[in-house]
Amino acid sequence: MKCRKCDEKAVIHMRQHKLALCKNHYLDWIPKQTQRFIHDNNMFSTEDRILVAVSGGKDSLVLWDVLSRLGYQVDGLYIGLGIDGGNGYSAESRRITESFAAEHKLDLITYDIEEHEGLDIPTAASLTRRGRERPCSICGLSKRHIMNRVAIENDYDVLVTGHNLDDEAAVLLGNTLNWLTAYLQRQGPVLPTRSGLVKKAKPFFRFYERETAAYALLRGIEYMYDECPHADGAKSIYYKVLLNRLEADRRGAKLSFYLSFLRAKETMSFNSEGDDVERMLHPCTSCGQPTSTPDLCTYCRTWKEVRDRRETMLEQGIES
Ligand code: AMP
Ligand code: FES
Ligand code: ZN
Ligand code: ZN
**Sequence-distant (≥ 6) Cβ neighbours of residue 56 within 8 angstroms:** 78, 92, 93, 94, 96, 97, 223, 224
- Residue among 50, 51, 54, 55 to mutate when testing ligand 1 (max atoms within 8 A of CB): 55
The boundaries of the domain holding residue 71 are: 45-226+235-268
Most distant CA pair in the chain: distance in Å?
Answer: 73
Q: Is residue 38 part of a domain?
A: no
Q: Is residue 59 part of a domain?
A: yes
Predicted pLDDT of residue 78:
98
Which atom of ligand 2 sits closest to the CA of residue 55? 4
Rounded to an integer, the average pLDDT of 268-280 is 62
Q: Is residue 150 part of a domain?
A: yes
Q: Express each pLDDT in 90-141 by its tens digit.
A: 999 999 999 999 999 999 999 999 999 999 999 999 998 777 777 788 999 9
Predicted pLDDT of residue 278:
56
- pLDDT-derived band at 271 (thresholds 50, 70, 90) equals low
- Residue among 59, 79, 81, 236 to mutate when testing ligand 2 (max atoms within 8 A of CB): 81
- pLDDT-derived band at 277 (thresholds 50, 70, 90) equals low
Q: Is residue 29 part of a domain?
A: no
Instruction: Give ligand 2 pocket residues (Cβ under 6 A).
Output: 81, 121, 135-136, 139, 228, 230-231
Q: Is residue 53 part of a domain?
A: yes
Our measurement of the distance from residue 176's CA atom to the centroid of its chain's CA atoms, rounded to an integer in Å, reads 20
Domain count, the chain: 1
Query: How far, in Å, CA of 36 to CA of 179, rounded?
Result: 31
Q: Express each pLDDT in 24-82 by its tens digit.
A: 999 999 999 999 999 999 999 999 999 999 999 999 999 999 999 999 999 999 999 99
Query: How far, in Å, CA of 254 to CA of 228, rounded?
Result: 24
- The CATH number assigned to the domain holding 187 equals 3.40.50.620
Q: Is residue 310 part of a domain?
A: no
Q: Is residue 319 part of a domain?
A: no
Which residue CA neighbors atom 1 of ligand 2 most closely? Answer: 139
State the DSSP code for 191: E
Up-side HSE of residue 177: CA atoms within 13 Å toward CB? 12
Q: Express each pLDDT in 200-254 by its tens digit.
A: 999 999 999 999 999 999 999 999 999 888 876 788 999 999 999 999 999 999 9
User: Would the pLDDT of 319 be above 80?
Assistant: no
81 CA to centre of ligand 2 in angstroms? 8
Q: Is residue 283 part of a domain?
A: no
